[in-house]
Amino acid sequence: AQSVAQPEDQVNVAEGNPLTVKCTYSVSGNPYLFWYVQYPNRGLQFLLKYITGDNLVKGSYGFEAEFNKSQTSFHLKKPSALVSDSALYFCAVRVYFGNEKLTFGTGTRLTIIP
């Protein structure tokens, strides 16, 4: 079985400050890890993914995420938050082999305070 935990329902960050949205995962085997963003009344948009190799992955809109195998984490980060980053963020995992299902976390609402 595979699962994803996003321990924070809500994260508030002042504009210009660094932000982190946390994600931990559990899979039997090696994972593919993804971050998606959902703006109000919109579908999910892909931000970035970890496949293999470099643990630091860079994605859209200046976001990056760090894969940590020992801590089974894949936290999303950005050095300087923008008000336009305010949205709902989902972490997702899929195991390398077997079931093709993508399992999503419960989402973290990120609010950037001007």
Site of interaction with other proteins (CB under 8 A): 32, 34, 36, 38, 41-46, 49, 51, 88, 90, 94, 99-102, 104, 106-107
For tokens 């305070």, the residue is 113
β-bridge partners, 113: 14
**Shortest gap between Cβ of 80 and other proteins (angstroms)?**
25
Q: Which is nearer to other proteins, 17 or 42 (CB)?
A: 42
**How many residues are recorded in the chain?**
114
Q: Are 89 and 37 in contact (CB under 8 A)?
A: yes
Which residue number, 58 or 101, has a Cβ lying nearer to other proteins?
A: 101
Q: Of 106 and 111, which has the nearer Cβ to other proteins?
A: 106
The least CB distance from residue 38 to other proteins, in Å, is: 8
For residue 77, the minimal CB distance to other proteins (Å) is 19
Separation CA 71–CA 65 (nearest Å): 14
Distance in angstroms (rounded) separating the CA atoms of residues 54 and 9: 28
Residue 40 corresponds to which tokens in the numbers above?
Answer: 């109000």
